[in-house]
Every structure is written in structure tokens, then in C-alpha cells.
Amino acid sequence: MMLQETAQGAIGVLLVLITMTGAIIVARKDLRAILFTYQLQSFFLASMAFTFYIFEKSDMMLFLAILTIVSKVLFIPYVIKRVQKKINIPRDLTFHYLSPTKAIFVTIILIFIVHVSLSATMRVLSPSRFIYLGEVLGVSLALMGMLVTFTRGKVMTKILGYLMMENGVLLFSFFVTEIPFIIEVLAMIDLLMIVLLASILALGMDIGVEEFQGRLHPFNRKKNGHNGGDNGNGQNGKGHDVRGNANQVSPAHATDKTKEVITR
């Protein structure tokens, strides 16, 4: 009985910490802070799986804890960190539909709706109110991740929102039923693939204006070189100036071109 109370206390603390990290991800704009919070959230999930292993002696929970640590605490954040370094955007300041402040209020409403929706079925099925609490917070975390995914402008934050959704599903599965380990591994592989692909896409989409301008230069050179006609300065150049050097687009001209391309 004492052991069960200790386990419930430990899992209760972890549940509260996971919910806190979810709320912080919804509210923060700093991409590094969001990533670190996601790492923490995953660590708390792994700790929860480990706690379940200690008190229930279920080997699957131990494997799940190790898998979560390796993939979600170490590997995925490492990949995202590398991409973040390349795209060089420290903060996500573009929001669709909701600002972070409004998103926090929507989060409160979401948790309340989940509680009301699940109370009719899960409360009856769940053996204890504690398990019901875990289920409500699991679904709420998944919805909070969804909220981040569609309210944020930058792909990196969208990816992190998606990852939070997966964390929510994992949390829900801890309390509702034990998902077979092989399905969890497959879900993890899917997740890794999605993170890798989305990170590659993010490299192109979340790039800063300066980098975009830099990438535009070779495009212009190539265009001028191949067309052999008007190089944009009103001169009939052939891609080379009188000294025989390749045509360089002046910074002012490049800026105009950049603006034009962005407008298009």
C-alpha cells in the first residue's frame, strides 16, 4: 500500500512537470528554449516509464524509457539543434490565428473540454481517478501539440508541436493500455523519419532573408550567364564584364531582385 502511494506520488509529480513543460512550449517564442523544454518533457516521460518499470516490474516500460531517452532526449533534439544552427532563426515570431497569450487561454479551454468529454466514458472505465487524470493530461498534451503545430509560423516550431503531440499519445498510452513495444518502436522510426524530412524542408523554408539573398546570387549569375541577353542593368552582357570576370549583381540590384522574388 505504501509502495503504491509512493509510486502515485512520483508519477503525480512527473505528470505535473509534463503539463508544465507543455504549457511552456505553447507560450514560448524562443526556439532554443522550446527545444530544451521538449527535451525536458521527454525526459520526464522516460522517468515516468522508468517509475512504472520499478513499481510494476514490466520490462516493456524499461525498454520504452531507454528508447525515449535515446530518441527523444538525445537524437531528435540533436538533429533539430543542428538544423536550427543552419537556419539561424532564434525566435518564432510569426503566428497564425492565435498569439501565444491567446493560445494559453485556448489551452485552458482545451483541457476543460477534454475533461468534460472523457468524463462520460473514461471515468467509468478507469480503475482510479489518478489514472483518469493521466488520461486527461495525455489527450490534452496531444491537443496542445496540435495547437502549437497550427498556430506557429516557423516549420521548426511546427515540428516541435508535432513531437509534443506524440509525447501526448505516449502519455495517454501509459495510463490507458500498454501499447505493444513493437508498435511503439515503429512509431518512433516514423517519428525519426518525419523529423529528418521536415528538418530538410525547414532548411529551405525557415531560412533568413540574408541567407535567402545569398542563395539568390548564384541563381542570378546562372540566369545571366545562360540568357546572354539583358543582365538586368540594361546592358547586353554575355555573363562576363570587360575584364573577363563573371557578372556580379550590385548589392542594391540584388536587394531589388530579392524583393521582387519575395513579392512574387
| Min separation Cβ 155 and another protein, Å | 22
For residues 91 to 120, the per-residue mask of contacts with another protein, x marking binding by CB under 8 A and - elsewhere, is --------xxx--xx-xx--xx--x-----
Helix (H, G, I), strand (E, B) or coil at 52: helix
**DSSP for 93-120, written as a single string:** --BSS--HHHHHHHHHHHHHHHHHHHHT
Q: How far apart are CA 21 and CA 13, in angstroms?
A: 12
- Kindly tell me which of 84 and 140 has the beta carbon lying closer to another protein: 140
- Out of 9, 153, 214, 229, which residue is the one contacting another protein (CB under 8 A)? 9
Q: How far apart are CA 178 and CA 160, in angstroms?
A: 25
Q: How far apart are CA 182 and CA 201, in angstroms?
A: 29
CB 13 within 8 A of CB 131: no
167 binds another protein (CB under 8 A): no
CB 134 within 8 A of CB 175: yes
- Kindly tell me which of 78 and 105 has the beta carbon lying closer to another protein: 105
Q: How far apart are CA 57 and CA 86, in angstroms?
A: 44
At which residue does the C-alpha cell 542594391 appear? Answer: 252
| Min separation Cβ 196 and another protein, Å | 32
Residue 11 gets which letter from DSSP? Answer: H
Site residues for another protein, 20-39, by CB under 8 A, read 20, 23-24, 27
Residue 152 gets which letter from DSSP? Answer: B
Residue 121 gets which letter from DSSP? Answer: T
Contact range with another protein by CB under 8 A, out of 11-19, 172-180, 212-220, 237-245: 11-19
| Min separation Cβ 95 and another protein, Å | 11
Residue closest to 33 by CA, chosen among 24, 46, 42, 41: 24
- Kindly tell me which of 9 and 208 has the beta carbon lying closer to another protein: 9
For residues 118 to 157, the per-residue mask of contacts with another protein, x marking binding by CB under 8 A and - elsewhere, is -----------xx-xx--x---------------------
Q: How far apart are CA 89 and CA 211, in angstroms?
A: 11
Q: How far apart are CA 72 and CA 82, in angstroms?
A: 15
| Min separation Cβ 96 and another protein, Å | 17
- Kindly tell me which of 39 and 140 has the beta carbon lying closer to another protein: 140
- Kindly tell me which of 13 and 79 has the beta carbon lying closer to another protein: 13
- Kindly tell me which of 25 and 202 has the beta carbon lying closer to another protein: 25
Contact range with another protein by CB under 8 A, out of 7-15, 147-155, 206-214, 227-235: 7-15
Contact residues toward another protein (CB under 8 A) are 9, 12-13, 15-17, 19-20, 23-24, 27, 99-101, 104-105, 107-108, 111-112, 115, 129-130, 132-133, 136
